[in-house]
Amino acid sequence: MRQFAERAALSAALSLSFLGLGTTAAAADTSSSLPISSYRDIAVDAAHQQVFLSDPFGDSVLVTDYTGQVIKQISGADGAWGFALSSDSRTLYVALRDAGAIAAIDTVTLQETARYDTGTGAGAYAGPTSLALAGGRIWFGYSLDTWRGALGSLDLSGAQPVVTRGQGLDTFRGSPRLAATPQDPNTLVAAESDGNAAAVAVYDVSTGQADTQAKRVDPGPDGCASLQDVALTPDGRQIVVACAAAHYHQVLRTADLADDGIYTTNWSPTAVAVAPDSTIAAGVYGPSWPDVQLFTQGNSTAYTAWDFPEPSDYANTTLVSGGLAWAPDGSRIFAVTETSGSSSLTLQVLNHPQVATTVTVQAPASSPRNQNLTLTGKLEAPVGFGAGSTVDIWRIDGPMAGEGTLIGSATVAADGTFNYTDQPKAKGDVQYTVQYYGDARHAYAYGSVTVNITSD
């Protein structure tokens, strides 16, 4: 059982380290200066380990690797604003506000392969700014003029591209931000704020039209002025908004936009991103509190946080609006920051710490040999367990059985529970040990139970 002891020691060390971290701020793991001075959106391409950042006033799309090292700066992207990455990660769609178009960029060659005119006109009060994939189309937010915004869609499923405009009218004062999730493909969320009360709307886009399901102005317990970012949880049931005038990140129920909780951050929320396992990354603007905090869905208290280093006594490092994105495997967060008093932008890479994990195992106190014996148990951690997680089951038949035998594995359900059925043949005390080997987000853990095996 030497491996059990070694792993247990490692687990204990990890547990002490990460439990001690709690909500104490930690530094970024890597920090890389960016050769751009403007920013509006970020997209993470897991298939090719790339990060895309828009540079609207530099008319470019910057591409880095997962450490922030520049791979390429794609020029000719007029007013590059918002992104949408195809489900197969082969194509990055870019809203080109100053061209009144949507560009398609091949994520392998990093070349523009197509450009689709949206018919909106071009410029600050016309062209598309935000993109989302929903209902089999590319949806875009754009401005009708200086006082009104609307939704449009680009359908690429036929022989020719089809653009539809003029949806979501009389809801937005400017070009709305969009959010969608693959798990709820026909739901589109749009939100906009011109510095005053935000307007949020939910649409069913299954028919190709934006059918309003819910609409609300100035949402949240204390309202929502100066909306900075919006995200939809993977299950499509909740919307998280970052409103600069609030003291926390607000949660809205997608079905009717009713208040559905908060994430306790601090003054001036500026960004939010939700991982595929529903972990919430919430960021704020300001040097006096943690810049980025992580929450499990539905838990208002953060379980870990980061505070970006300050370059000097006279300058601050602050998170930019909409400046957070998760790697799809949940292993790290990408944060775009700026230094006060300059136009310097930095990509901070925050490696997600492994969290302390426990395994509990239950079984009958005794059981007849050669009969089915069912073990039940549960993995528990501040962060949920993804699909495909498993635990290994080891059995030790009596004190002279050595290190034990690996007898099988069990699949872990979404709530962390598992079960395994064995037919022990040896009489006497039999020990079962369940091992979870951990992953990018969870520390190694194990648990044991002893059962007295009696005669048939």
The answer to whether residue 6 scores a pLDDT higher than 70 is no
Residue % of the chain over a pLDDT of 90: 73
Q: What is residue 71's predicted lDDT score, i.e. its pLDDT?
A: 98
Q: Alpha-carbon distance 254 to 258, whole Å?
A: 8
> Higher-confidence residue: 119 or 288?
119
Tens-place pLDDT, residues 147-174: 899 999 999 999 999 999 999 998 999 9
Q: Alpha-carbon distance 420 to 281, whole Å?
A: 35
The answer to whether residue 448 scores a pLDDT higher than 70 is yes
DSSP result, 397-436: ESTTSTT-EEEEEEEPPTTSEEEEEE---S-EEEEEEEEE
The answer to whether residue 17 scores a pLDDT higher than 60 is no
Neighbour-count burial of 193, counting CB atoms closer than 10 A to its CB (0-12 exposed, 13-18 middle, 19+ buried): buried
Q: What is residue 440's predicted lDDT score, i.e. its pLDDT?
A: 74
Tens-place pLDDT, residues 222-267: 899 999 999 999 999 999 999 999 889 999 999 999 999 999 998 8
**Mean pLDDT to the nearest integer, 35-42:** 96
Show Cβ contacts of residue 246 under 8 Å, excluding neighbours closer than 6 positions: 220, 222, 223, 224, 225, 267, 269
Q: What is residue 330's predicted lDDT score, i.e. its pLDDT?
A: 86
Q: Alpha-carbon distance 268 to 285, whole Å?
A: 6
Beta-bridge mates of residue 430:
397, 451
- For residue 20, give the H/E element and its range: helix 2-21
The answer to whether residue 444 scores a pLDDT higher than 90 is yes
Backbone angles phi, psi at 79, to 5 degrees: 65, 40
Q: How many helices (H) and strands (E) does the chain have?
A: 1, 37
Instruction: Identify the CA nearest to 375 among candidates 390, 357, 360, 397.
Output: 360
Q: What is residue 50's predicted lDDT score, i.e. its pLDDT?
A: 98
End-to-end CA distance of the chain: 29
**Mean pLDDT to the nearest integer, 350-360:** 88
Half-sphere exposure in the Cβ direction for 24 (13 Å, CA): 6
Tens-place pLDDT, residues 285-319: 976 678 999 998 899 999 889 988 877 666 788 99
Q: Alpha-carbon distance 191 to 383, whole Å?
A: 28
The answer to whether residue 13 scores a pLDDT higher than 50 is no
Cα-to-chain-centroid distance, residue 373: 40
Cβ–Cβ < 8 Å for 224, 197: yes
CATH class of the region 24-351:
mainly beta
The SS3 of residue 282 is strand
Q: Alpha-carbon distance 215 to 175, whole Å?
A: 16
Range name among 55-59, 183-187, 384-388 with the lowest pLDDT average? 384-388
Cα dihedral value 394, 398, 403, 405, nearest 10: -40
Show Cβ contacts of residue 203 under 8 Å, excluding neighbours closer than 6 positions: 151, 168, 187, 188, 189, 190, 210, 211, 212, 213
Q: What is residue 288's predicted lDDT score, i.e. its pLDDT?
A: 65
Q: Alpha-carbon distance 39 to 56, whole Å?
A: 6
| Domain boundary assignment for the chain | 24-351, 355-454
Can you give the C-alpha Rg of the chain in angstroms? 25
The answer to whether residue 19 scores a pLDDT higher than 70 is no
Tens-place pLDDT, residues 373-420: 999 999 998 887 877 899 999 999 876 656 689 999 999 998 899 999
Using DSSP bridges, classify how beta strands 317-326 and 345-351 pair: parallel, antiparallel or unpaired: unpaired
The answer to whether residue 16 scores a pLDDT higher than 60 is no
**Mean pLDDT to the nearest integer, 431-435:** 96
The answer to whether residue 27 scores a pLDDT higher than 70 is no
The whole-chain average pLDDT of the chain stands at: 90
Q: What is residue 23's predicted lDDT score, i.e. its pLDDT?
A: 39
Q: What is residue 95's predicted lDDT score, i.e. its pLDDT?
A: 98
From residue 413, how far is each of 141, 376, 423, 432 by CA, in Å?
A: 38, 12, 23, 20
The answer to whether residue 10 scores a pLDDT higher than 50 is no
**Mean pLDDT to the nearest integer, 131-137:** 98
For CA atoms 54, 32, 272, 179, give the dihedral sign: positive
Q: What is residue 380's predicted lDDT score, i.e. its pLDDT?
A: 93
The SS3 of residue 15 is helix
The answer to whether residue 24 scores a pLDDT higher than 90 is no
Question: Confidence class of residue 363 from pLDDT cuts 50, 70 and 90?
Answer: very high
Q: Alpha-carbon distance 269 to 250, whole Å?
A: 9
355-454 CATH = 2.60.40.730
Q: Alpha-carbon distance 336 to 164, whole Å?
A: 33
The answer to whether residue 456 scores a pLDDT higher than 80 is no
